[in-house]
Structure formats: structure tokens, C-alpha cells
Amino acid sequence: MTHSETTTDQFKPRSPVLKTLVERGYVNQATDLAGLDSAFEEG
């Protein structure tokens, strides 16, 4: 599986933290990316 085929490519994070983690390849699998993104936004 290449990076272009991952689930995270379908999800566009709003929080800078999650965006950076996804761009750098640290997010491999997650069941609730939207919830994680929301938690990072809230601080």
C-alpha cells in the first residue's frame, strides 16, 4: 500500500498538530480521526 492509498488521504485535518503528524507519516491507523482532530483543536 502506498501513501496515496491510505485512509488519511481522504481526511483533511483542521488542527495544525494533526496536519503535521499526517504529513510526516506518523498517523498509520486511527478509528476516529475527526475526534482526534477536534481534541487537538480544543487544546
Give pLDDT tens digits for 11-25: 889 999 999 998 998
Q: What is the DSSP string of 1-43?
A: --GGGSGGGG----SHHHHHHHHTT-----S-HHHHHHHHHH-
Distance separating alpha carbons of residues 13 and 8, to the nearest angstrom = 9
* pLDDT exceeds 60 at position 33: yes
Say if residue 4's pLDDT is above 50. no
- Whether 1 shows a pLDDT value over 90: the answer reads no
Contact 13, 38 (CB under 8 A): no
User: Which residue has better confidence, 9 or 4?
Assistant: 9
pLDDT beyond 60 at 7: no
State percent of the chain over pLDDT 90.
49
Rounded to whole angstroms, the Cα distance separating 35 from 7 reads: 15
